[in-house]
Amino acid sequence: MNEALVAAEAVLAGEEAVICDLRRRIRGPLEKILEILLPHRGHVIIVGMGKSGYIAQKIAATLTSTGTRAVYLHPAEAVHGDLGIYEEGDPSIIFSKSGTSEEVLRLIPILKQFHSKIIAITANIHSELAHSADVTVDIGLHLEHDPIGIVPTTSAVASLAVGDAIVCALMKAKNFTKRDFATIHPAGQIGRNLLLSVGDIMTPLEEVACLGGGETLREVVIAMTEKPFGGALILEEDDRLRGIITDGDIRRALKVDRSIDQIFASDIMTTTPRTVTASACLGEALNIMESGNSSIYVLPVVDGHDRAVGLLRLHDVYKK
C-alpha cells in the first residue's frame, strides 16, 4: 500500500513540475497563436489521435463553449470524408506527443492545400509535425511519471494545460463574460445560476414565517410548521431583519434542559445572518450559502435597506 501511495504522489509531483515549466515555454508561441486565431471568423479544427484525441475533444468543446467555434477532427476519419468540415483558411490545432503519428502526418499536406495554419502541441520539437507547423508549443520531452514510465499521464496533463491556456487567452482577448457564457449555456445548473435571479425563485415574505423575537419556542415551531420553508425570519416592525431561526436552531434548542415555553425566539436566533438581494443571480446566492465555515440551506433576501423581502432555499436553487 505504501508503494502505491508513493506512486500516486510521484505522478502528481511530476505533473506539477511540468505545469510550472510550461509557464516559461508558452508565452512566445501563445502570442503567435492568438495572431492566428483571434481574427479568424470560421471554425478552428482540433486534431488528435489516441489519448491526444481525448484531449483534443475536450479543448474543442471548451473553445466552443467560450465563444470560439471549434470542431474535433479524428485524423483517421478525416481522409474518409470528415475533411469536409474544413473551409478555406480554417486553422488547425494538432495534439500529438510524439509528433510522428502516421494518421496525423498524412493530414499535413492536405491541410496545407486548405491554407490551414497549423498549431502543433507536441513533446518532440524535432518531429515532422513540429517542422511542418506554423507555430509549435513544446510541452517538453518529459518522462511519464507513471510506475512504468510510458502511460500518458504527465504528457496528457501538459497538453490539456496548454489547450486550457489557449482557451483562457482567447476568452480574455475577446472580453468573454459570464453573460456570454450564460447565453451559450441556457440549460442545466450553470444556466440557472447565471440567468435566473434570486427574485425569480425566492419564497416571498408573505409566505414565510415571520416573528418579532418574543415568541416562545413552542410558537416558533407552530409558525414554522404552518409555513414550512426551513426558516423563520425575526423582523422589526418595519420588516428590517433582526435574525433568522432555522430547523437546525430548533433541534439544538430542544437539547437544552428547559421547557419550550421558557425558550424564546430571540434566545436561539442567528443575529447576523448571511443575506442576499433579490437582484443577485443564483450563482452569487449559491456562493454565499456555501461560503464560511459551514453551508446554510436557507438565505434571507433583503432590499437595499436591510428590509426582508423573502427567503431563498438551497432546494429551490437546484430545483428544475
Assign 320 a pLDDT band (cuts: 50, 70, 90). Answer: low
Of 294, 228, 217, 229, give the one whose Cα is nearest residue 263: 217
What dotted CATH number matches 198-318?
3.10.580.10
- Residue 96 burial by Cβ neighbours in a 10 Å radius (0-12, 13-18, 19+): buried
Q: Establish whether domains 2-176 and 198-318 are of one fold.
A: no
Q: What is the mean pLDDT of residues 109-117?
A: 95
Which alpha helices (H) appear in the chain, and where do they start and end? 2-37, 51-65, 75-78, 102-105, 108-113, 128-132, 154-173, 178-184, 188-195, 198-201, 217-226, 247-253, 265-268, 282-290, 314-318
Residue 257, pLDDT > 90, answer no
pLDDT digits (tens, 9 = 90+) for 213-253: 999 999 999 999 999 999 999 999 899 999 999 999 999 98
The pLDDT score that the predictor gives to residue 255 is 87
CATH of domain 2-176: 3.40.50.10490
pLDDT of residue 153: 92
The Cα–Cα gap between 287 and 295 comes to: 9
Q: Summarize pLDDT for 36-53 with one digit per residue, the tens.
A: 999 999 999 999 999 999
Please state the domain extents for the chain.
2-176, 198-318
Q: What is the pTM of this model?
A: 0.74
241/71 Cα distance (integer angstroms): 52
What pLDDT is recorded for position 316? 86
